[in-house]
Amino acid sequence: MTGTACGAVPDSAMEENIIRNVNTRLELRSRSSITRKREYMVAKRRHRFGLEPRAHPEENRAVTPDPQTVEQGPRPFVGNRFDRLEWAGAFGDLGTLIPFLVAYISLLHVDPFGMVFAFGVAMIAVGAYYKTPFPVQPMKAIGAVATTQAAQTIVITPGAVYGAGLVTGLIWLVLGLTGAARKVAQWVCRPVTIGIVLGLGFSFMLQGIKMIAEGWLLGVVALAGTLLLLSNRIVPVMFLLLLFGATVAVVQDPALLGRLAAIKVELRYPSLYLGEIGWNELAVGAVFLALPQVPLTLGNALIAITDENNRLFPEREVSEKQVAISTGVMNLLAPAVGGVPMCHGAGGMAGHVRFGARTGGAPIILGALLIVLALFFSGSIETIFKIFPVPVLGVILFLTGGQLALGSCDFGRTKNDRFVSLTVAACAMWNIGVAFVFGMALHHLLKRGLVNL
């Protein structure tokens, strides 16, 4: 006002800047308290997983931001990392991977080269495509039936396992390309999804405890030390845990050191295994292995993993269609080189994240190591895996389950929703397919008032 009275001309640039700042303040203050609280809770959750600095309620108050920050928006994802935390997180899924690989090799006599090579290629492709710690795991129902000969009336052969992979790949590729997988996932209610993830977490923890019990003293010491050092960022605890396990393995079995020293480098190249798949193997694999696995894959490796990925990495969301297609492609290609059926289990992501992984660098690292192992040391894989004692793998699996269960504690507000989630979780510890069907039926019965609590 004084400058105008004296005949001075107001600075237009300064005036525009003042108006812009005032408008920004008004815009920020107009946001509802509910929106600000939601933003704070999301930031707090992301901080817990080390994705960004922790938010503070004071930061959600209306302030005048830097105009450059307002224009640029959030910092974009820069790509996969390969730092020490990604290396540590890469081994977070060994608790599931190694026991199944050893069972396939020792009980079913599957050629270790093709199996390990296929896992390595799949992990590299998945890490490069999704750019999150997206896992590649053995399909558990198929692996359990095949390695224990649980079909009883039929002898499961490696050819039947390869045939199951082809059938599984075809099923999920069709479900993905037609959009049926996405429609089924959208039909599944939230309480059932939470219950499946929670049950998976508890089942991992229970299996981890059983593995720890095989050497309870070693397991308890390893678990206690891991928990105490879990937040250590200087030397990731996974490295210390694996070093501790290898040391104990050598101390308990001194001859193991000699067998490790006798390992020779033997270069092998991929070869085709499709000749082992006849019509009989294809039929056995489809009926006794592939079809019983479908409900488990739907719950764990489609619905649960999509929910887990999008909750932890909202800036790198995936869809059910993408996951179904990648599952199909993996399983159509893997049997050609001797690979076993694979999936994207939610527990694998929980394991990678629990031990530090935040990008696709972790599966790429593990995949590269598996390819090296297959190409040069496939004849000694069983010996190499003996440096990981079962109780140590149990510790990894137990903490993976805890991480998975922890992320599924967002129960519904109503008593009916909570009841559905808890009952589905209990059933999922036994059979995820049954838990899925039972949970959906219970949800609709409660919704229609046919069942009252």
Task: Tell me the pLDDT tens digit for each residue of 303-351.
Answer: 889 999 999 999 999 999 999 999 999 999 999 999 999 999 888 999 9
Which has the higher per-residue pLDDT, 211 or 431? 211
Q: Which pTM value belongs to this model?
A: 0.75
Mean pLDDT of 9-36: 54
Mean pLDDT of 431-450: 86
Degrees, nearest 5: CA angle 283-286-287: 85
Which has the higher per-residue pLDDT, 94 or 406? 94
What's the pLDDT score for residue 144?
76
Please state whether beta strands 342-343 and 137-138 pair in parallel, antiparallel, or not at all (unpaired): antiparallel
What's the pLDDT score for residue 71?
40
Reply yes or no on whether the pLDDT at 202 is more than 60. yes
Please list, residue by residue across 25-39, b when 16 or more beta carbons sit within 10 angstroms of its beta carbon and e when fewer do. Answer: eeebeeeeeeebeee
Which has the higher per-residue pLDDT, 238 or 5? 238
What's the pLDDT score for residue 336?
93
Which helix (DSSP H) or strand (DSSP E) does residue 107 occupy? helix 94-107
Mean pLDDT of 190-204: 86
Mean pLDDT of 136-147: 83
Helices 158-177 and 140-148: crossing angle in degrees, nearest 10, is 160
Percent of the chain residues past pLDDT 90, beyond the cut? 42
What's the pLDDT score for residue 7?
45
What is the Cα–Cα distance from 370 to 362, expressed in whole angstroms? 12
Q: How confident is the model at residue 11 (pLDDT cuts 50, 70, 90)?
A: low
Reply yes or no on whether the pLDDT at 37 is more than 60. no
Distance from chain centroid for Cα 44: 21
